[in-house]
A and B are shown apart, each in its own frame.
Chain A
Amino acid sequence: MSIRLTSGGRLIDRSAPIDFTFNGKHLRGFAGDTLASALLANGQMLVGRSFKYHRPRGIVASGAEEPNALVNLGQGARAEPNQRATTTELFDGLQARSQNHWPSLEFDVGVLNNYAARLLPGGFYYKTFIHPRAAWKHLFEPIIRQTAGLGAAPKDRDADRYEQVYAFCDLLVVGGGVAGLHAALVAARAGARVWLVEQSAHWGGRAPVDGDMIDALPAADWVNATVAELAGMANVTLRARTMAAGVYDHGYVLLDERLADHTPGDGRPRHRLWRMRAARIIAATGAIERPLSFAGNDVPGVMLASALRDYLVNWAVSPGQRTVVVTNNDDAYRTAIALHQAGQTVVAVIDARDQADGALPAQARALGIRVETGKAIARVKGGKHVTGVEVCRQTGDGTISRFLACNAVAMSGGWSPVVHLYSHCGGKLIWDEAGAMFRPDAAHPPITQDGSAMVIGAGAANGALREAIADADAQVRIALKAVGIKPKKSAVPRQDLPDEAALQPVWIMPQAAGVGLRAKVWLDYQNDVKVSDVQLAAREGYGSVEHAKRYTTLGMATDQGKISNINGLAVLAEALNEPVPQVGTTTFRPPYTPVPLGALAGEARGEIFQPLRKTPMDGWHAAQGATFEPVGLWRRPYCYPRPGETPRQAVAREVKNTRQALGLLDASTLGKIIVKGPDAGRFLDMLYTNVMSSLPVGRCRYGLMCNEQGFLSDDGVMARIDDDTWLCHTTSGGADRIHGWMEDWLQCEWWDWQVFTANVTEHYAQIAVVGPNARKLLERLGGMEVSQDALPFMAWADGSLAGFGCRVYRISFSGELSYEIAVPASQGAAFWQACHDAGASLGAMPYGTEALHVMRAEKGFIMIGDETDGTVTPQDLGLDWAVSKKKADFLGKRGQERSHLTSPDRWKLVGFETLDGSVIPEGAYVIAQGSNANGQRHVQGRVTSTYRSPTLGRGIAMGLLLRGPERMGEVVSFNTVDGSTVQARVVGPVFYDRDGEKQNV
């Protein structure tokens, strides 16, 4: 039973008790506790169940590497699954629930999987995903879904807020241990802009726990002094609780700062994601201890030796009063010594090496601790907690030499440098034979924009497990020089460390463990991957490390294999009879530990999830209860339903009213680009398929733009303003794109042409005044001549209406008498209101985009994005009249000459009239005879615009049909989703006022 000791605990404040619950049970800890230390202090060793076999699982580690102690934290709008108890700081009222068990943590039905392990071998998921499909869907998945899974997904909207911030520095030091602190200090004293981040709430890393001396000071004192100096420097930013999640190209690093995880609801953002751009990155991320692979190494009470030491020293928690230490190195003796000094019983140190004569083993022996060399643990006894270990020879097959009763096991298989940040952007690793570990290969670092090393390892993360400060000193000087900062000469702080003898790699314990033991040796605790699974993968041919990973799911759990990967690789290497470096590692990918989705979204949620563009009249539309639709990022009124009206009824009314009286449309979103200069006409002739240079001043002309492929890209009405100035109207969504397109050609191809452009779209509010009463309204507003003679169809004029300075275009997209009036945007709402006021007795009504669409379809006008999809030419749409045959060149001309575009077998624009008057479903295809190899019906055309025409009282449509214009009068069949067909007659695309008389009155 784990307990809190009556004294000690460098991080806890015994005068500040904290109440929390675990599975509804009321428990008490202290300020400074993590959830893990508080659970252990309350004797709660069992904290969860494993993913596949639902084996009882206890706390193994003390930090970010923890694979087992995952809990559901909080509830309702603050529920968060899969939170590591080891990195969760305790706060008053914390509510945690264990996960992945049913009905209870103590009694779990899913544990039956454990007894059915024979049926769920390694590769089970892999194989059943492949075949037989039916078995997966109908047999395995339903069973597994019942019992598997991690935490419960939160159901409520997240109550917290998150934010992102951009930051920049010369040197980002990741890791607030002694190596990182020293590196930051050297850089800071040299005047560099330094950031130092530490994932935990505490500075100093392991050194204060291990009792190191630095420059004759206890490590904790040295840490405090260094942090104090750094904190006092203006060029230094210190951030604890900040995890470097990933390193990306050119020094971009995501830092996840946990602001209020431990103070929920205090008004601060819960997390803040720093989007850091660092000229250089020092990865002083330390090292993670590896488990040893012996049977029953997953029984609660078996912990990493360093973690057990952490609990003891930092939180005064003793996970077991009788502990067996098992190791292949000297470092674990620190745990034995610490236990002894805290008055706990060390039953024995089981050392796999034949000799243990270093300073630490000597010290342990001197304290009276029994040390057994050349020994191994054959098997841990116990179910929900350790009751003892069976000891055997490391070199043997597991023949038991004795039984040792104990209730905790501290294991150490050596250390693995945390090389994640070094590896994210392609830094290479080398295998360090002496330390049996992968460490950064300084000859092959990740590269930044100047071609030099972007990330530099320092301290334990660089493989310098012992002389971390000296290594950090050397590395930070390299980093500073690379960014042109000269470090000051200074002595390297001296770390007084006992000598340590070499570790002996031990990948399976005992060395010749039989199959019975190997099947109980856990590598990946969270995903239940055993030594036997990796060996099976190797036998079945999954020899590549990436294949073996996916086959066994080793390292694929939420901990991403921080403690299991190297052991797994070594077992795979052994099974393949290859050296470890040849097998290599799997790819390290960000994030280092999970980042909340909320932090990745930052401010982009709710109302500001994305920009919403509003016209100057938007407030009026909203007040009228308009139904909006998105057009690009704009919101435009779709229609203006009146009380009791459906949107469809509103659209019909708006169309009829516009055709019979007067409609007003907010057309402000229309793109408006000014093109000016001596070469503007020549430029526009290249851009548009027809001739624009010949347009007289004061007149308008409809034009088409194509890409170099010859496909239609945009359309709009051009107005010639003066001798060297044109104003191009683009589609609503197209203004920025077309402006960029113009600038591209002007800057990159015809840079000697004298042309300037300006996108003035948003400077103007534009109102379409449409219908038989349009001219009457303008006359009522008064101020300029708008008669057919003064302002004929396709002309424009500057003037004023009702006192508003304006430009009036006589253009029509509806087929009716129509004026489009542009006023400065700041006067748009007032002018819009003036039109409604003056037009009330003329039957003025606003109409929305749907009425606009219906009316343009009735007139057979094409719409970019409906009739076009990037594969349609003007000729396909019968717009040959707008494509110049005389011009030597224009963008798209050469493309349109390609054989398949000139073929008579193109799908071309026609109109369709259903025989029964119904509306052809959107997206419907014209079916042809026969079907293709996939059994899909051959098609010969498709509908592009389809509406119910209130004017004609029936369905109308435009579409593309194979040789369409040659087939007038033919009846074709459209498919529908329900399998039936709709018959329609091929007709011309103009359904209303074929001669265009109404717009020209």
Chain B
Amino acid sequence: MSDAISLMTEAGSDGFAKVRQIGPLGMITLRAKAGTKGLRAAVKAATGCALPDQRQIITSGDCAAGWMSPDETLLILPHAGVAAALRRIDHDLKGQHHLAVDVSDARAVFRIEGPKADQVLRKLCPVDFDRLEPGELRRTRAAQVAAAFWKDDSGFSLMCFRSVAGYVGDLLHVSAQPGSEL
């Protein structure tokens, strides 16, 4: 029963880029000031990743660690591993001021793939895609809601809040409609 995870609807696509919802991914918001003792080790233990620099996301297999703000790191890991990771973080950061909390189910994640994947996002995010750095985690908005995305070899991962997954999915599909390539 407790593993009855309700997947949000799988979105198909016949646009100029492939758009689909993935997940759920395990996600932990880890708040701690830079230089907090044990932070580097905690991130490494939970994700296998180094502590990301400003606007950076570091990936390692299924896991990733992303810079969200000067005192916030997003840890991405398999959904089933969150509870153990939280216990590990609390252990590693014992006595240090920090906050680690499961936000896996607060988020929805989309993949936008294909050679023109960037064009889908150029229509939604006020971001200079030509100047996006490799491994950059960009927090911005997609049309009218908060979003964050990062790029890899085959496309973009975009996350938003769970409640607006339907809205964001529709946005992505509308933006990817055939005939609207830039």
Contact = CB atoms under 8 A, between A and B. Distances in A.
Interface string B101-118: 111111100000000000
B86 interface: no
A756 B98 contact: yes
Interface string A189-200: 000010000000
The majority secondary structure among interface residues of chain A is mixed
Most chain A CB neighbours (cut-off 10 Å) among B97, B104, B107, B165: B97
A268 interface: yes
A579 interface: no
A826 B103 contact: no
B101 A825 contact: no
B170 A614 contact: no
B167 A824 contact: no
Contacts of B107: 762
A182 to B, nearest CB: 24
B6 A760 contact: no
A166 B127 contact: yes
B37 interface: no
B182 A165 contact: yes
B162 A762 contact: yes
A754 B162 CA distance: 29
A758 interface: yes
Given A163-B180, A266-B179, A611-B145, A825 B122 contact: no
Given A165-B123, A168-B130, A678-B97, A616 B6 contact: yes
Contacts of B6: 616, 826-830
Interface string B145-182: 10000000000000001111111001100110111101
B105 A762 contact: yes
A464 to B, nearest CB: 32
A165 B101 contact: no
Size bracket, chain A contacts: 35 or more
Nearest to A268: B179
Interface string A821-860: 0001111111000100000000000000000000000000
A331 B127 CA distance: 46
A824 B104 contact: yes
Contacts of B179: 266-269
A758 B2 contact: no
Contacts of B180: 161, 163, 268-269, 272
A825 B123 CA distance: 30
A149 B41 CA distance: 73
B61 to A, nearest CB: 22
Contacts of A267: 178-179
A163 B2 contact: no
Interface string A149-166: 000000000000101111
Contacts, number: 133
Interface string A140-181: 000000000000000000000101111110000000000000
B31 interface: yes
Nearest to A672: B106
Nearest to B178: A267
A758 B101 contact: yes
Interface in A270-285: 272, 275, 277
B98 A167 contact: no
B122 A166 contact: yes
Given A674-B101, A756-B31, A612 B2 contact: no
Interface string B11-34: 000000000000010000101100
A873 to B, nearest CB: 32
Contact of B103 (A165, A275, A678, A760): A760
Contacts of A677: 97, 99
Contacts of B4: 827, 830
A730 interface: no
B105 A763 contact: yes
Contact of B102 (A613, A756, A763): A763
B126 interface: yes
Nearest to A805: B2
A327 B105 CA distance: 74
B6 to A, nearest CB: 5
A604 interface: yes
Contacts of B5: 826-827
Interface stretch (A203-211, A421-429, A796-804, A973-981): A796-804
A611 B97 CA distance: 36
A731 to B, nearest CB: 16
Contacts of B164: 611-613, 633
B71 interface: yes
A764 interface: yes
Interface in B89-143: 97-99, 101-107, 122-128, 130-131, 143
Contacts of A615: 163
A266 B180 CA distance: 11
Contacts of B178: 267
B3 to A, nearest CB: 8
B143 A604 contact: yes
A268 B143 CA distance: 20
A800 B164 CA distance: 28
Contacts of B161: 613, 762
A582 interface: no
Contact of A166 (B71, B126, B167): B126
A827 to B, nearest CB: 6
A603 B143 contact: yes
B84 interface: no
Contact of B166 (A612, A760, A824, A825): A612
Contact of B171 (A266, A603, A674): A603
Contact of A608 (B1, B123, B167): B167
A756 B97 contact: yes
B31 A825 contact: no
A600 to B, nearest CB: 14
Contacts of A802: 1
A644 to B, nearest CB: 31
Nearest to B180: A269
A757 B101 CA distance: 10
Nearest to A762: B106
Nearest to A724: B97
Nearest to A634: B163
Nearest to B166: A614
A762 B107 CA distance: 8
Interface in B42-100: 71, 97-99
Contacts of B71: 756
Most chain B CB neighbours (cut-off 10 Å) among A163, A608, A616, A676: A608
26 contacts: A164-B123, A166-B122, A168-B128, A267-B178, A268-B180, A277-B126, A603-B123, A603-B143, A603-B175, A611-B143, A613-B163, A613-B164, A614-B163, A614-B165, A616-B6, A678-B97, A756-B31, A757-B99, A760-B106, A762-B105, A762-B161, A763-B101, A763-B106, A764-B105, A826-B105, A830-B4
Given A161-B177, A267-B178, A827-B4, 8 more contacts: A167-B122, A268-B179, A277-B128, A608-B174, A825-B105, A826-B6, A826-B24, A830-B4
**Closest 8 interchain pairs by CB?**
A803-B1, A825-B105, A830-B4, A613-B163, A756-B99, A762-B106, A763-B106, A267-B179
Interface of B: 1-2, 4-6, 24, 29, 31-32, 71, 97-99, 101-107, 122-128, 130-131, 143-145, 161-167, 170-171, 174-175, 177-180, 182
